[in-house]
Amino acid sequence: MKINSKKIQLLIGAVILALSAVVLISVNTAGSNQPKDVTLVTHDSFVMSKSLINEFEKQSGYNLKVISSGDAGALTNRLILTKGAPIADAVFGIDNTLSGEAYANSLIAGSLTATDFGDVCFNYDKLWFAAHNIPAPSSINDLTKPSYKGLTVVENPATSSTGLSFLAATVEKFGESGWQNYWKSLKTNNVKVDDGWEAAYYTDFSGSSGKGAYPVVLSYGTSPADEIRANGQSQTASILDGCFRQNEYVGVLQGAHNPAGAKALIKFLLSPDFQKTFPTTMYMYPVVSGTPVPSDWVKYTQTAAKTYGDHLDFNKNRSSWLAQWAVIFG
pLDDT, one tens digit per residue, over 184-209 is 999 999 999 999 888 999 999 999 99
Confidence of residue 23 (pLDDT cuts 50, 70, 90): very low
Rounded mean pLDDT of 227-235? 95
Which of 11-25, 72-86, 158-172, 262-276 has maximum average pLDDT? 262-276
User: How many other C-beta atoms are found inside a 10 Å radius of the C-beta of residue 216?
Assistant: 27
Give the chain's domains with CATH numbers.
37-116+247-294 (3.40.190.10), 118-245+297-329 (3.40.190.10)
Residue 249 forms beta bridges with which residues?
Answer: 94, 114
Query: Which candidate, 287, 250, 265, places its Cα nearest to that of 53?
Result: 265
Rounded mean pLDDT of 5-28? 44
Rounded to whole angstroms, how far apart are CA atoms 46 and 197? 13
pLDDT at 26: 40
pLDDT at 159: 85
pLDDT at 298: 87
Q: Which residues contact 213 (CB under 8 A, 6 or more apart)?
A: 204, 206
pLDDT, one tens digit per residue, over 272-329 is 999 999 999 998 999 999 999 998 898 899 899 999 999 999 999 999 999 999 999 9
Helices 179-188 & 161-174 angle (0-180, nearest 10): 120
pLDDT at 169: 98
pLDDT, one tens digit per residue, over 29-50 is 344 467 899 999 999 889 999 9
Query: Is the pLDDT reported for residue 28 higher than 90?
Result: no
b/e burial code for range 302-315 (CB count within 10 A of at least 16 → b):
bbbeebbbbebebe
pLDDT at 10: 45
Strand ranges in the chain using DSSP code E only, listed in sequence order: 37-42, 63-68, 90-95, 113-125, 152-155, 192-194, 216-220, 236-252, 285-286
Query: Is the pLDDT reported for residue 262 higher than 80?
Result: yes
Average pLDDT value over all residues in the chain: 90
Please state the pTM of the whole predicted model.
0.81
